[in-house]
Structure 1
Amino acid sequence: MSVVDASGQIIPLSVNYFPHRKCNYACKFCFHTDKSSKTVPLDEAKRGLKLLAEAGMKKINISGGEPFLNPRFLGEIIKYCKAELKLESTGIICNGSKVQLRWLEEYGEYLDIMGVSCDSFDDDTNLKIGRSDNGRGVHKNKVFQIAEWCRDRQIMFKMNTVVNRFNVAEDMNDSVAEIAPFRWKVFQVLLLEGENKGPNALRDATDLVISNDEFKAFLERHKEQKCLVPEDNEAMENSYLLLDEEMRFLNCQGGKKVPGRSILKVGVQTALQDAGWETETFIERGGIFEWERKQSEELSW
């Protein structure tokens, strides 16, 4: 699978789309904060996603903000991408707090990957991080519950963890082994100017930063987890195609996120010139993997 076609044009193989920035949590390290209330209507979002599919997109990952704050929009986007655009893989990254079984019953057949962010299995640690809703800590039971719902529907379950000052010494082995995600993405906390660092940021994550050696120690502690996929700052910064609420690619080169021109106005190839996407780093970090679920005939929706 290539990220460049015969003419040398970039293929946007895998795209991470942030349809809005709203979130019910206040994670202190968040690098996509609620700085804008803008979004595009569903029909315009579909038009943009169709342009991406025509340009070669095979996988879409919906994040936020918290995508489940607008469950119908999220469901209809996932359904459109899978049923009409015939994408190989549709995925979601969420905090888990708003996932409802009835949503999975309606839209689960169109979803390949459900990702839940889980930075700790300790309630006090989650409260320190800000991963809570109105001061209520995230209970690990919800993560386990969503994983079970996904297994029952043969949706691949993924877990994301941001290693930071508050959880860097935690041993998550037993809980991760019990949940058994097909991928456990482990990120080193990343600072981006204007998002979680600097005078114009809504967050200040400087006190949560850890050293490379501390990150390596966390990985070493969890090396027996076969699902572990680590990403340090260098791997994270320029290896993702990030599409914001106005369908603009975000360029993370230089330690901040700079929006380019919207694909709705200039088309995909012109917009990709603004993205700062390092295709080699994307491949090196394992950006291409088995991302399409295998559904048995026994499961009927």
Structure 2
Amino acid sequence: MRKINFAGGEPFLYPKYLGQLLQFCKKDLALESVSIVTNGSRVKDRFLSTFGQYIDVLAVSCDSFNEEVNVRIGRGNGSHLPNVLRLSRLCREHGIKFKLNTVVNKYNYQEDMNQQISEIQPFRWKCFQVLVIDGENDSTATLRNANPFTIIDEEYESFCNRHSHHKCFVPEPNNVMKSSYLILDEYMCFLNKGTGAPTGSILDIGVQEALRQGYWDKSSFNKRGGIYDWSKTGESCATARDPNLDW
């Protein structure tokens, strides 16, 4: 194992446990890269002063640089952008690579984000085409319903064409993203995104058997740039002997 990413929900809802996990992954497991995806609202300078040494990459979800659009999407109540700017500054101060994640959807695909990206200068900017997954975010009975946000491929491509000149820009259309991630849910089951039910829990059947039950698209993983300079020390599997990893 070389890299782990903590996502959510919101990992910083449980800072005590998150800090312990970060330290364990870096000190005990000696992983090349430990990263977190957060909305930024609960990240404190005090936490980064204590645990920032164990974080290689901090990715902040930012779908728009217009607060009205963020509110419409569901990103806070008008305070999201100050958090994004605050975190980009804190990451520089603590030597953590700052990354942006943007979900391109019905409400932001026409937006021009070039000025803000040039100012913030993230080392990596992932732009996902909003993806509906059966059983995950397609329910009309709950808040987990992405159907109203979907866009057609041409609309996503128009956003990409507007921003692709940035060196940090990494596009992830639906056909590349769908099965290219190894994701463990809260029950420690690998998710079969769009291809079936989750695997058994690794706590019950072990990692190897769970991987045999799941589907992971290695070619799409490589196509979307899954291997990159993911360590703040510069020691990443992008420069390892086997750049394709031995899974």
Query: With structure 2 as the length reference, what TM-score do the two structures score?
Result: 0.91
- Counterpart of 2:219 (choices 277, 280, 284) is 280
Question: Deviations along 1:147-169, whole A, 9 cap, x unmatched?
Answer: 11111121111000000010111
Q: Distance in 1 between matches of 2:98 and 2:57?
A: 6
How far, CA to CA, are the matches of 2:81 and 2:142 in structure 1? 30
C-alpha distance in 2, partners of 1:247/1:237? Answer: 19
Given that residues 60 and 99 in structure 2 are in contact (C-alpha distance below 8 angstroms), is that contact kept between their aligned partners in structure 1?
yes
- Would you say 1:242 and 2:183 are equivalent positions? yes
CA contact (8 A) 1:194 1:200 kept: no
Determine if contact 2:34/2:56 at 8 Å carries over to the other structure. Answer: yes
Shift in Å at residue 265 of structure 1?
1.2
Matching residue within 62, 80, 88 for 2:32: 88
Instruction: State the Cα RMSD in Å.
Output: 1.4
Identify the residue that residue 100 of structure 2 maps to in structure 1: 159
Q: What amino acid maps onto 1:258 in structure 2?
A: A
Question: Match for 2:230 among 291, 296, 299?
Answer: 291
Is the aligned partner of 1:231 residue 2:175?
A: no
Aligned match for 1:118, one of 48, 62, 87: 62
Q: Judge conservation of contact 1:241–1:275 (CA < 8 Å) in 2.
A: no
Instruction: Quote the offset at 1:207 in angstroms.
Output: 1.9
Matches within 5 A, 1:2-81: 57-81=1-25
Counterpart amino acid of residue 125 in structure 2: W
CA–CA separation in structure 1 for the residues paired with 2:140 and 2:112: 34
For the pair 1:192 / 2:133, whether they are aligned, the reply is yes
Distance 1:112 1:284 in 2: 22
Q: Which amino acid aligns with 2:12?
A: F
Matched, 1:260 2:199: yes
Offset, 1:213:
0.6
What CA distance in whole angstroms lies between the structure 1 residues aligned with 2:54 and 2:194?
34
User: Unpaired segments of 5 or more residues in structure 1?
Assistant: 1-56, 296-301
Distance 2:223 2:119 in 1: 29
CA distance in 2, matches of 1:258, 1:95: 28
User: Number of aligned pairs?
Assistant: 234
Amino acid in structure 2 at the alignment position of 1:115: A
Answer yes or no: is the 8 Å Cα contact 2:134–2:194 preserved in 1: no
For residues 247 and 262 of structure 1, the distance between their equivalents in structure 2, rounded to whole angstroms, comes to 5
- Give the alignment partner of residue 145 of structure 1, picking from 86, 92, 97: 86
Q: What's the counterpart of residue 218 of structure 1?
A: 159
- Paired with 1:228 and 1:261, the residues of 2 have a C-alpha distance of 35
Q: 1:201, CA displacement in angstroms? A: 5.2
The answer to which structure, 1 or 2, has the higher relative contact order (CA under 8 A, 6+ apart) is 1
Q: What amino acid is aligned across from residue 168 of structure 2 in structure 1? A: C
Tell me which amino acid in the other structure corresponds to 2:215: G
Identity value in percent: 48
Label 1:108 to 1:250 Cα distance change in 2 as closer, same or farther (>3 A): same
Cα deviation 1:148-200 (Å, max 9, x = unaligned): 11111211110000000101111111111111110000000001122221456
Cα deviation code 1:217-270 (max 9, x no counterpart): 00111122110000001111100000011111011133xx62211111111110
Is 1:97 the equivalent of 2:38? no
Moved over 3 A (4+): 198-202
- 1:172 counterpart = 2:113: yes
Query: Is contact 2:26–2:34 with CA below 8 Å preserved after alignment?
Result: yes
The offset of 1:70, in angstroms, is 0.3
C-alpha distance in 1 between matches for 2:79 and 2:137:
22
TM score, norm. by length of structure 1 = 0.75
Residue pair 2:6, 2:35 contacting (<8 A) in 1 also: yes
Gap runs ≥5 in structure 2: 235-247
